[in-house]
């Protein structure tokens, strides 16, 4: 069974738990502080996954401090499920300019792609399930070439996306075992590894890279992408909020309307810089309200009763 990110972190923390001795760059150290940093005030996370402070056992050298960002070997996302604060972190003073550029490209990409699947054979998008209705699209930064790719992330933003040097102070100067330690949320190293019961300190140090090395390795392969956030209308066993992928923030939204004159479901595509990263619950509410106005029971949706207005792309040939 694949290891989860949380299990991977737990194994790393256990391996360097206080009192543990290990050798780094030929010097033996004993771990004194080993913890997962926490943002001040709750909400959001620092980029550092493990803060380690260790004292030399013999040599008269400074304490070793490692701030490690841990990634599974199949990692994909540098920024996942982005919110406005993430965009501000990455693009800083250029946030509005870059978002306008991305919105222009995004509206072109998604304007004509299917946003609802009324069931049946001959799907255009094979990943779209019967009854799926798109609420909008999230923005993410990944190392994969996905279908809804906006562009390669420009070089000047790669360092910030990985290290977060402009992130808000409560996620930069974070809590380690309850104490605020300056810059503890900014990683010094990156570890790409799936840990198991046989993993040793030596295994880790062989793979561990400095953050600068990791940034250099990904100067030209990070992409800004869109990912659809879908409402699963046929999941009668779920509440309204559980029919989509949790609380997500959409850079481009679909607003749904009931055209009562023609008895059909309509949508407005919103790609507006003043409305970027709106929560998906607004699009979900507009969809459910529109369906109910059309006489459709949202607790028992019958797809054959959903009539679409002209211009709403459906997922079949």
Ranking 19-23, 41-45, 139-143 by mean pLDDT, the lowest is: 41-45
* Gyration radius of the chain's alpha carbons: 23
Confidence of residue 3 (pLDDT cuts 50, 70, 90): confident
Confidence of residue 45 (pLDDT cuts 50, 70, 90): confident
* Mean pLDDT on 19-26: 97
Residue 52's closest CA among 181, 212, 192?
A: 181
Confidence of residue 149 (pLDDT cuts 50, 70, 90): very high
* Mean pLDDT on 134-151: 92
| pLDDT at 41 (0 to 100) | 87
Residues 235 and 229: their CA atoms lie apart, in Å, by 15
First to last CA, the chain: 38
Place of tokens 């994909």: 76
Residue 230's closest CA among 128, 124, 77, 108?
A: 128
| pLDDT at 69 (0 to 100) | 96
* Mean pLDDT on 145-149: 85
Residue 32 or 247, more confident: 32
Structural domain boundaries in the chain: 5-71+167-217, 79-152+223-305
Residues 289 and 286: their CA atoms lie apart, in Å, by 5
* Mean pLDDT on 145-172: 91
Residues 62 and 264: their CA atoms lie apart, in Å, by 70
Mean pLDDT of the chain: 94
Residue 317 pLDDT greater than 80, yes or no: no
- Percentage of the chain lying above the pLDDT 70 cut: 99
Confidence of residue 211 (pLDDT cuts 50, 70, 90): very high
* Mean pLDDT on 249-253: 97
| pLDDT at 145 (0 to 100) | 84
List alpha helices for 190-234, DSSP H.
201-207, 211-217
Confidence of residue 246 (pLDDT cuts 50, 70, 90): confident
CB within 8 Å of 26: residues ≥ 6 apart: none
* Mean pLDDT on 121-134: 94
| pLDDT at 132 (0 to 100) | 96
Place of tokens 């003043």: 274
* CA pseudo-torsion sign 303, 307, 312, 317: positive
| pLDDT at 240 (0 to 100) | 86
Q: What is the largest distance, in Å, between two alpha-carbon atoms of the chain?
A: 83
Confidence of residue 100 (pLDDT cuts 50, 70, 90): very high
122-156 in b/e burial notation, b at 16+ Cβ within 10 A? ebebeebbebbbbbbbbbbbbeeeeebebeebeee
| pLDDT at 250 (0 to 100) | 97
Residue 183's closest CA among 191, 170, 169, 173?
A: 173
Residue 211's closest CA among 93, 61, 55, 70?
A: 70
* Mean pLDDT on 238-262: 93
| pLDDT at 2 (0 to 100) | 79
271-290 pLDDT, tens digit each? 999 999 999 999 999 999 99
48-99 pLDDT, tens digit each? 999 999 999 988 999 999 999 999 999 999 999 999 999 999 999 999 999 9
């Amino acid at each position: 069974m694949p290891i989860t990110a949380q299990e991977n972190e737990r194994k790393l923390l256990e391996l360097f738990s206080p009192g543990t001795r290990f050798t780094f760059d030929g010097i033996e150290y004993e771990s004194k502080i080993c913890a997962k940093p926490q943002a001040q005030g709750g909400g959001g996370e620092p980029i550092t996954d493990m803060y380690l402070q260790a004292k030399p056992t013999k040599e008269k050298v400074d304490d070793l401090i490692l701030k490690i960002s841990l990634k599974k070997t199949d990692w994909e996302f540098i920024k996942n499920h982005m919110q406005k604060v993430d965009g501000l972190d990455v693009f800083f003073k250029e946030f509005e300019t870059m978002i306008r550029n991305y919105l222009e490209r995004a509206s072109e990409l998604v304007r004509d792609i299917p946003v609802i699947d009324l069931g049946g054979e001959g799907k255009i998008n094979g990943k779209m399930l019967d009854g799926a209705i798109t609420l909008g699209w999230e923005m993410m930064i990944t190392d994969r070439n996905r279908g809804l790719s906006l562009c390669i992330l420009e070089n000047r933003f790669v360092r910030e996306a990985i290290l977060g040097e402009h992130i808000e102070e409560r996620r930069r100067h974070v809590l380690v075992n309850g104490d605020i330690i300056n810059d503890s949320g900014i990683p010094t190293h990156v570890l790409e590894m799936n840990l198991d019961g046989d993993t040793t300190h030596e295994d880790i140090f062989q793979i561990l890279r400095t953050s600068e090395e990791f940034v250099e390795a990904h100067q030209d392969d990070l992409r800004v992408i869109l990912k659809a956030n879908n409402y699963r209308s046929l999941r009668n066993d779920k509440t309204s909020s559980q029919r989509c992928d949790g609380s997500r923030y959409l850079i481009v939204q679909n607003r749904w309307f009931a055209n009562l004159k023609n008895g059909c479901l309509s949508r407005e595509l919103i790609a507006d810089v003043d409305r970027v990263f709106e929560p998906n619950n607004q699009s979900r509410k507009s969809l459910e309200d529109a369906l109910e106005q059309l006489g459709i029971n949202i607790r028992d949706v019958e797809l054959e009763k959903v009539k679409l207005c002209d211009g709403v792309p459906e997922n079949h040939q």
